[in-house]
Amino acid sequence: MNIFNMAYEYRNFFLSGLQYTLLLAVLGVFFGFVLGIAIALLRMSKWWPVRFIATAWVEFLRGTPMLVQLFLIHYGLATFGIEFSAMESGAITLSINSSAYLAEIFRAGIQGVDRGQVEAARSLGMRQGMTMRYIVLPQALKSVLPAIGNEFITIIKESSIVSFIGVMDLMFQSRSVSTITYDGFTPLVIIAFMYFVLTFTLSKILGRLERRLNTDDRG
């Protein structure tokens, strides 16, 4: 069976896997985005215990394999009576892992905002929370938008690890097709092409968005 015939005959498998892969990537980046902002702000707190906890969060998640984190959440927590479905464990793992990297991205963006604007806002009577919300964060997020997009691309590729716990993503479906057809190579080529199309398309969209933002800034 050639690659095109297999892709068509087992299209339902591959399309179903694509849906799970995209859903996990979206959930991972969305919740990672929210958590990342919180962790970034905690890392810049004036209280050292808070900074220590946030730093430990970032360093642990960046310093350990995502597969280990996935097994800790899905199998490790189950020993303490905390059980998640495979999909929930996958989404949680991708979210917290993404939050560590996004936190550093956000922190760099926040620290890159001109201090003069912060001081001007404070001199006008704006509180620290208002200054952060209306002055600092909008500019920081705009400056790090390309990096957030790159994290989304990374999560799409790394989401393949969730197949180890039974989430029916692209990788899982390729193994299912391999089991049916006794062909271990062609299904992998098909999903590799699908991953490539996803990431290549997203990178082009992000590149265009970045150029537009740069044009707006110059204007």
- Domain limits at 212? 3-218
Q: Across residues 161-186, what is the average pLDDT?
A: 94
Our count of domains for the chain comes to 1
Please check the confidence at residue 219 and state whether its pLDDT lies above 60: no
CA quadruple 62, 68, 71, 72: dihedral positive or negative? negative
**CA nearest to 74, candidates 63, 85, 59:** 85
Assign residue 201 the CATH number of its domain.
1.10.3720.10
Q: What is the pLDDT of residue 145?
A: 83
Q: DSSP class of residue 219?
A: -
Q: What is the pLDDT of residue 45?
A: 87
Q: Across residues 100-116, what is the average pLDDT?
A: 87
